[in-house]
Amino acid sequence: MNHAKQDNRSYYDEFSKWYENERHHGYHALIDDLEFDLLAPYLKGKDVLEIGCGTGLILERAADLAKTATGIDISEGMLRYAVDRGLDGVLADVTHLPFADESFDVVYSFKVLAHVKDIDLALKEMLRVTRPGGTLVLEFYNRMSGRYLAKRIGGPQKISSQTNEGAVFTRWDSPADLTRRLPMNASIKDFAGVRVLTPFAGIHKVPVLNKLIAKGEFLARDSALKYLGGFLIMIATKDS
């Protein structure tokens, strides 16, 4: 199973069993904080949709600010944890969203879209359910980053005793790729870069150094260095 491609649903069903083991501290918590801090200003009083909400770690925080907060995921295993948190979770695929046109003010996604093969259809669907003038905050894996190089050198990491990251489709994009892919009824407002300075996740276990790097990551996210972030976030608006 390690080297065979799985469908995304079964991959994340398996991943869900220990997904949160390392997500409440250190490197993974910092990534979530960087993402949510960028997202939060767009949420207050809005109807929002998270694409690939997983176990609901970010959706739960979004729900505290938004008027309504809905999450979709293709994995029943992941979604079960989100629903157990009392969140509005829907089993669905981003390429076939079960919502009416113009249902949401904000659509966002983290750590998910790099694993969607038909990304062009996904972008069209996300824009379809976004209201005119609404915001999309969408994260992709950045081909122009040190993280990309590290993954090429280090190879896929395990997500369970039987499966590694190589079992699921993964795409790496550049800012130019994303600009070219964005449908004509949307405009890019900005980019942000997450994991700009972190050479490897384990460095965030080193006392003192972890705090310095975390502070640097927040500064680098919106600086000229953002285009080197391992996770590249495109902030776009749907044209009125």
Domain ranges of the chain: 8-238
Class of domain 8-238: alpha beta
pLDDT at 158: 58
Residue 1 has pLDDT above 60, yes or no: no
Query: With b meaning 16 or more CB within 10 Å and e meaning fewer, what string describes 18-54?
Result: ebeeebeebbbebbbbbbbebbeebbeebbbbbbbbb
For the segment 155-167, the average pLDDT, to the nearest whole number, is: 62
pTM over 0.75: yes
Q: How far is Cα of residue 78 from the mean position of the Cα atoms in its chain?
A: 14
Percentage of the chain modeled with pLDDT above 70: 92
For the segment 200-210, the average pLDDT, to the nearest whole number, is: 92
Cα separation of 213 and 215, whole Å?
5
Cβ count near 56 (within 10 Å): 27
Residues making up the chain, counted from first to last: 240
| Weakest-pLDDT range from 8-17, 55-64, 79-88, 89-98 | 8-17
Reference 235, options 195, 194, 188; nearest CA is: 188
pLDDT at 159: 54
Tell me the pLDDT tens digit for each residue of 37-61: 999 999 999 999 999 999 999 999 9
Q: Which two tokens stand for residue 152?
A: 């090429």
